[in-house]
Structure 1
Amino acid sequence: MTATPPATAAPSRAVRPAHRDPGVLRWVGAYTASTLGDSVYHLALAWAAVSGGSPGQAGLVMAVAAVPRALLLLGGGVVADRLGPRRVVIGSDAVRCVVVLGLAATLLVASPGLWVLAAVALVFGAVDALFLPAVGALPPRIAARDQLARVQGMRGLAQRLGAVVGAPLGGLAVAVGGPSTAFGLAGLLFAFSLPLLGALRLRPLPVGESTGTGSGTGTDTDTDTDTDTGTGTRTGSGTALGDLAAGLRYLRGHRLLGPLMVIVLLSDLGFVGPLNVGLAVLAEQRGWGASGIGWILAGFGTGAGAASLVLTVRGRVPRAGLVSGWTMLLGAAAIAALGHAAPLPAAVGLALAVGLFAGLSGALCTALLQTACDPAYLGRVTAVAGLCSLGLAPLTFPLTGTAIGLWGPGPVYGVSAAVCALSGVYGLVVTSVRKAELPG
């Protein structure tokens, strides 16, 4: 396949802002529908599992999806780069739609055992391993490089909407018609994303990007088209394993992407324990109750949503690498203070600060990753970032709970905050990250 002539890229055409670009808006609409469907599905699955078994069995059903997701995530990045991200996202949502609607129909006529729910959870975990790298690789193919920060802001708003609206919507569906109705609603939401994704027209892979040297320079050997027929990378051995090895070599040798992976890993290792397991312990010890957890999570969601709104409106943050490092340090300080908060309003305010600073830092890191990465490798690079966040970071859950039981929340939150702060310090010390800029 030959490279797309420069004339087809229309370089002189004015770039349309992402929030006014019909293609970006279609992608955001599809992503929002998919996120809502995911939230409704998880609530319905939890309710059906609790109704059909013991709490321990329900917890096992909910945890089953994590295994194939962690094991297959890197392979999902290879698939996204080989087949094209849009094709993989469409296939993922189509599979989720069929499986969930099938489960809804089954629940209408029978009462299957927990093994059926566990099987569905396994399928969802495997599909997530394909969906997550592909959806992360799509923004640079639908928006100009100088619009990627705004796209990340819009994606963050969609995630907040899915979290805030999805769970109550699923609860209402369960209350009205039981789990089968909720699963049916989730399936329809997945189905709604399909025509929007099918209407996307992708930008061709840019000529002149690196194909694995790690220097950010070189000549690409192939291009994609707006029909999403492959990525054009020819750096592997022709096998999936060879492509994965080529992607890891590219990531390891890149002066910006490698350090960004370290930042993602450190920040999530320090972040997820206190904001998940830690909150339940804090609420119990402080007497806040379950409603207190809800208020704290609402504060965090408000802060994260505000960070996404800032990026959506501004479109670009000058000195993005420097800002990301300092906001991570501020977020770490808020995490440490949260472990000592006694009044609930203070805890809510600190959670809002954590959401604002950590949300802004995370979105900037993602925008820098997507801007710096050769799109032919973006699925594999996104998969590595996802493995750090979804595969390795959750391993801290039992460690966090045990440590709080031994030493109390204050010291554990302090150590977790120190790990988060280390990611900010690392970003400020590494020159390639500190001086990283988003295109403007």
Structure 2
Amino acid sequence: MDKTPRNLWSGGFRQLLAAQSISAIGDRLSFVVLPFLILGHGGDAVAVALVLGARAVGFSASVLAGGVVADRIGPRITLVLSDLLRAVVQGLVVALFISSDSFVAALAALMTVYGVAEGVAIPSSRALLPRVVPDAALERANGYMSAAYTSGHLVGPLLAGIFVALDLSVLAIGIDAASFVVSGVLIWTTRPRSLPEESKGTVLSQFVEGFKALLARRWLLWMIAAGVVLHLTTLPAIYALGPVWAETNLGGGAGWGILVSAFGVGGVLGGLVATRLRPQRPAIWYFVGLIVVAAQPINLVSGAPFWLVAGLQSVAGFALAVLGVMEDLSAQRGVPGALLARVGSFAVFASTVATPVGYALVGGVSAWAGVAPTMYVMGAICVIIVAFGVLLPSVRKFAPQPSGAALQPTPTVVDVEKSPT
């Protein structure tokens, strides 16, 4: 009898999944209502950009340090502290909008702190899962986490629309603050497996150790590089130019909303299907899924019937969920557990830095060549580069075994291309 489901749900995964679901809803709820809240209190587009940019700056400044912190004091404690700090920040945001008319500078400062806490949390969340889930159940656990995250990103904006329509945006921020408290309590109740430290050096030496571990894993370097290309081309083309194209060619705001929802529904289904997958070479699955995701700009401007465009967007959402699970699974089984947060922080940092560069690139090219040609070119570049990744020997040979070996610390960093784990 397959005992994986019982093993999966009997530990701290239940609490972690609930925390992830609640946080995802709260995050998207506050992210959507905050710009409307700023505009409703006399702010303008510059104020919105300043506040959201401050959050991004805080995130970028802390994500690398977050990996070291998580590996030094443990991902559970790091996540709890991050949740509580963000709860306090959102509570202060509520108080600020209620009591003050001069709020932009103070709000930007608070969002910088929020971004710092968020940046610390991302590597920790990736490192905590394999400590609360049996190794044999990682595929299933990652799939459920992906589905929960995507579901939250569907529900959150829907709730945000209701709160904005009822002029209750401040209440929405308060709900987000409460969601962080609940999430922190749930994560605190997990009982992750403890791992002996791979080294007990200084912060700098541990940072260097994590970087060396990354360099020793060429398959992971290629995965990160492909993610950077995605953030330089396809994603900014979708987010910046997609709504512009939809305004006159895909049914306007209503049509764009349908396409975004179709993508989200595909993501939920993809996460659930991923719980049943048992890939021997998850890195190859990652690149194959990324090819589908990379082609989205081409799909949007292809001139195909709207129902077909929506269907392909759903397939892209499905592929994104599956490749996300494959990415996490590759790291969880290919990187020692005591190094996982540090190594993961480099991937997040690389994508974070690439994103604003991608927006600038896409904006400049579209101003010169037009929206449709830019989306074709950006999509094609990303598809070609990502497809090349499937052919790389280090990617094709990487086949981690579900033996739990990745959670065992090693005295030195080894080249995993020469090892089955």
The C-alpha deviation readout for 1:84-137, integer Å capped at 9, x for no partner, is: 111110000001111212322343344342222212211111111111111111
- CA distance in 2 between counterparts of 1:328 and 1:174 reads 35
Cα RMSD between the aligned structures?
2.3
Is 1:29 the counterpart of 2:29? The answer is no
Letter in 2 for 1:247: G
Q: How far did residue 372 of structure 1 move?
A: 0.6
Is 1:353 the counterpart of 2:315? The answer is yes
- CA distance in 2 between counterparts of 1:321 and 1:420 reads 17
> Residue 280 of structure 2 contacts residue 401 of structure 2 at CA under 8 Å; is this kept in 1?
no
> Residue 300 of structure 1 contacts residue 353 of structure 1 at CA under 8 Å; is this kept in 2?
yes
Instruction: Give me the identity figure in percent.
Output: 28
- Once structures 1 and 2 are overlaid, which stretch shifts more, 85-94 or 382-391? 382-391
Q: Which residue of 2 aligns with 1:42?
A: 31
- CA distance in 2 between counterparts of 1:412 and 1:191 reads 43
- CA distance in 2 between counterparts of 1:106 and 1:320 reads 47
Structure 2 unmatched runs, 5+: 403-421
Is 1:234 the counterpart of 2:199? The answer is yes
Q: Which residue of 1 aligns with 2:265?
A: 302
Is 1:137 the counterpart of 2:100? The answer is no
Q: How far did residue 341 of structure 1 move?
A: 2.8
Q: How far did residue 323 of structure 1 move?
A: 2.8
Which of the numbers 182, 197, 205 marks the counterpart of 2:187? 197
The C-alpha deviation readout for 1:326-360, integer Å capped at 9, x for no partner, is: 33333334542323235433322222222222332
Structure 1 unmatched runs, 5+: 1-12, 206-222, 224-231
Q: Which residue of 1 aligns with 2:357?
A: 395
Is 1:269 the counterpart of 2:269? The answer is no
Q: TM-score, normalised by structure 1?
A: 0.84
Q: Which residue of 2 aligns with 1:432?
A: 394
Which of the numbers 245, 258, 262 marks the counterpart of 1:282? 245
> Residue 298 of structure 2 contacts residue 376 of structure 2 at CA under 8 Å; is this kept in 1?
yes
Q: How far did residue 289 of structure 1 move?
A: 1.2
Q: Which residue of 1 aligns with 2:46?
A: 56
Q: TM-score, normalised by structure 2?
A: 0.87
Q: How far did residue 284 of structure 1 move?
A: 2.7
Q: Which residue of 1 aligns with 2:330?
A: 368
> Residue 257 of structure 1 contacts residue 373 of structure 1 at CA under 8 Å; is this kept in 2?
no
- CA distance in 2 between counterparts of 1:376 and 1:69 reads 23
Distance 1:431 1:364, change over 3 A: same
Q: Which residue of 1 aligns with 2:159?
A: 169
Letter in 2 for 1:39: R
Q: How far did residue 255 of structure 1 move?
A: 4.0
Aligned length: 400
Letter in 1 for 2:15: R
Letter in 1 for 2:12: G
- CA distance in 2 between counterparts of 1:421 and 1:427 reads 10
Which of the numbers 55, 58, 77 marks the counterpart of 1:68? 58
Q: How far did residue 430 of structure 1 move?
A: 2.0
Letter in 1 for 2:279: V
Distance 1:301 1:97, change over 3 A: same
- Once structures 1 and 2 are overlaid, which stretch shifts more, 283-292 or 115-124? 283-292
> Residue 65 of structure 1 contacts residue 125 of structure 1 at CA under 8 Å; is this kept in 2?
yes
- CA distance in 1 between counterparts of 2:34 and 2:284 reads 42
Distance 1:253 1:287, change over 3 A: closer
- Once structures 1 and 2 are overlaid, which stretch shifts more, 327-336 or 115-124? 327-336
Distance 1:346 1:247, change over 3 A: same
Q: How far did residue 423 of structure 1 move?
A: 4.6
- CA distance in 1 between counterparts of 2:6 and 2:383 reads 34
